[in-house]
Structure 1
Amino acid sequence: MSMITSDATDPVVLFSAVDLGYGDFTVLKEVDLRVARGQVVAMMGGSGSGKTTLLRATTAQIRPQRGTIAVFGQDLASLSGERLRQVRQRMGVLFQQGALFTDLNVFENVAFPLREHTTMTEQALTERVLDKLDAVGLRAAAHLGISEISGGMARRVALARAIVMEPELILYDEPFAGLDPISLGITAQLIRDLTDRLHCASVLITHDVPESFAIADQVYVVGQGKLLASGTPQALSGSQDPYVKQFLNGEPDGPIAFHYPITPAFTAWLEQQSGRP
């Protein structure tokens, strides 16, 4: 029997009282979050709030300074080598820039993980790749080069590649960045549809509020070095928390101040500047 739990009721991702950071510097403190199968979960916050740090922790690129991160029922801190590789193989990641191979056509880009990690026959591989391209509306673009498709189409090719291994957890790093309004809407709906179709867990690292709220089951908002709020999009839309209201409404000033705070180091620097001839 596999050591990895397959109980459908267990959370796919579970953070328990987690502190995250780099070296002695802590980015986020006391984070509790839960992601279940079939859910789209948005992890939101402004630039530098720690969203990407959450993604790195979920893939065990960084280890928690404190607390426990469990993925597929296993404590990531206890995994290394082959066991960690097996867990990561059950994840799909859509990187912000897509990271497509420009010397391969659309079909071969999507086929790449299958060729690397499976021993599928060419017929089975072709059927799987065309099925996933069909799911993102690009089956008839299989023969095209990456230079022949638009940026929005390239994002959908990268999405097809992320799901071709039929992962149980898909992590999206800023999936809406740089897309035109039509491509953005298509991508958001694809994430929802594919989550339902694969019955996987999907985690969005994003700062795009309308698109995420339209498809997410649960939202976590990070900022100020902590988890500021969590709940359904409907619950957060009615939040009276000043930090949450400022972020969701895109207000330029508020608890997250427009002006960087004055520090003793700045005052000392300014005095030094003023004393120069």
Structure 2
Amino acid sequence: MPTPTSAASTVAALDLRDVSLGYGDFTVLSGIDLRVAPGQVVAIMGSSGSGKTTLLRAATGQLKPRNGAVRVFGEDVAAQSLSGLQALRQRMGVLFQQGALFTDLDVFENVAFPLREHKSLPEAELIARVLDKLDAVGLRAAAHLRVSEISGGMARRVALARAVVLEPELILYDEPFAGLDPISLGITARLIRHLSDRLGCASVLITHDIQESFAIADHVYLVGQGELKASGTPADLSRSQDPYVRQFLDGAADGPVAFHYPETPAFAAWRRRHGVADKETQA
């Protein structure tokens, strides 16, 4: 695992400085500082609706920041032309929450797809690389199977092999543990750590799974209530007595996190258009 000194001396794979993000009139997150060095596994955690996936969209250039800068490999994502953004994205791998496999292709061709799209490799070299990545996730002998013939856990591992087949410098995982049984969950977590170490790439987990993320992460960022609530090593957060951190880690019903979604200007406008009184007036 990289030391703080070595991490600070390299260009970050992902670097957010005083970033604010939102949709329409609603600001999801503000004042976010976040850094991911090559070789690090970083977990971005928070409750549902806290803005985790919004951060992923900013990292891939799908959402421009309202304030601050999002830099990938030292380049300001918002300042890129379309071709420049495509060049940055080719240095990234993304594991989508649902896997997003092509159901009309077999396992081999699903993993081979990025190579066929972005590389001009001799067929023998392409086959060797795809089988190498399938071997890394334990599915070399499943190369011939259709997607309909494999389990959900296996499908997630195929998607992981596809995400790393171009050997990216930054891999973004959107809820990689969602819906997995305990065995598949543990296997997937170990694979993420193994592949990050093997490729020397930066890995970012967008997740709310505490146990598995803490077992493999070098650093954790906890977002909630529109801001960065805490950051540090898993051990740092485990020792924290901050009320928000404790509520999240302990799964407590009572604490700073409110049950009701906050009212936004957009909702207030919708309420007025439909003649709905606010709760205080109704009371």
- 3-state SS of 2:167 partner: coil
Which stretches of structure 1, 4 residues or longer, exceed 4 Å deviation after superposition? Answer: 259-264
Normalising by structure 2, what TM-score?
0.90
Deviation readout 1:151-177 (Å, 9 max, x if unpaired) = 000000000000000000000000000
Moved more, 186-195 or 252-261: 252-261
The 2-side partners of 1:124 and 1:99 are apart by: 25
Q: Offset at 1:22?
A: 1.1
Q: Offset at 1:265?
A: 1.4
Q: How many residues align?
A: 264
The 1-side partners of 2:150 and 2:9 are apart by: 38
Trace 1:92-241 onto structure 2 (pairs within 5 A).
Answer: 92-241=93-242
- 3-state SS of 1:26 partner: strand
Read off the aligned partner of 1:91 and give its amino acid letter.
M
Equivalent position of 2:55 in the other structure: 54
Does residue 267 (structure 1) correspond to residue 280 (structure 2)? The answer is yes
Equivalent position of 1:35 in the other structure: 36
Question: What's the % identity of the aligned pairs?
Answer: 71
- 3-state SS of 2:222 partner: strand
Q: Offset at 1:267?
A: 3.0
Read off the aligned partner of 2:43 and give its amino acid letter.
A
Q: Offset at 1:259?
A: 5.8
Equivalent position of 2:15 in the other structure: 14
CA contact (8 A) 1:8 1:37 kept: no
Equivalent position of 2:255 in the other structure: 254
Q: Offset at 1:125?
A: 0.3
Read off the aligned partner of 2:89 and give its amino acid letter.
R
In structure 2, the gaps of 5 or more residues are 1-7, 269-276
The 1-side partners of 2:166 and 2:80 are apart by: 22
- 3-state SS of 2:162 partner: helix
Read off the aligned partner of 1:61 and give its amino acid letter.
Q
Q: Offset at 1:261?
A: 7.8
The 1-side partners of 2:200 and 2:120 are apart by: 24
Cα gap change, 1:228 to 1:160, in 2 (>3 Å):
same
Q: Offset at 1:9?
A: 1.1
Read off the aligned partner of 2:86 and give its amino acid letter.
R
CA contact (8 A) 1:39 1:201 kept: yes
- 3-state SS of 1:37 partner: coil
CA contact (8 A) 1:246 1:254 kept: yes
Deviation readout 1:29-50 (Å, 9 max, x if unpaired) = 1000000011000000000000
Q: Offset at 1:81?
A: 1.2
CA contact (8 A) 1:13 1:70 kept: yes
Deviation readout 1:54-96 (Å, 9 max, x if unpaired) = 0000001000000011100101111021111000000000000
- 3-state SS of 2:278 partner: helix
Read off the aligned partner of 1:265 and give its amino acid letter.
D
- 3-state SS of 2:113 partner: helix
Q: Offset at 1:189?
A: 0.3
- 3-state SS of 1:115 partner: helix
Deviation readout 1:93-130 (Å, 9 max, x if unpaired) = 00000000011000000000001111111001000000
Q: Offset at 1:24?
A: 2.6
The 1-side partners of 2:197 and 2:257 are apart by: 36
The 2-side partners of 1:15 and 1:184 are apart by: 29
Equivalent position of 1:274 in the other structure: none
Moved more, 228-237 or 252-261: 252-261
Trace 1:41-80 onto structure 2 (pairs within 5 A).
Answer: 41-80=42-81
- 3-state SS of 1:252 partner: coil
- 3-state SS of 1:256 partner: coil
RMSD: 1.7
Cα gap change, 1:214 to 1:267, in 2 (>3 Å):
same
The 2-side partners of 1:252 and 1:89 are apart by: 42
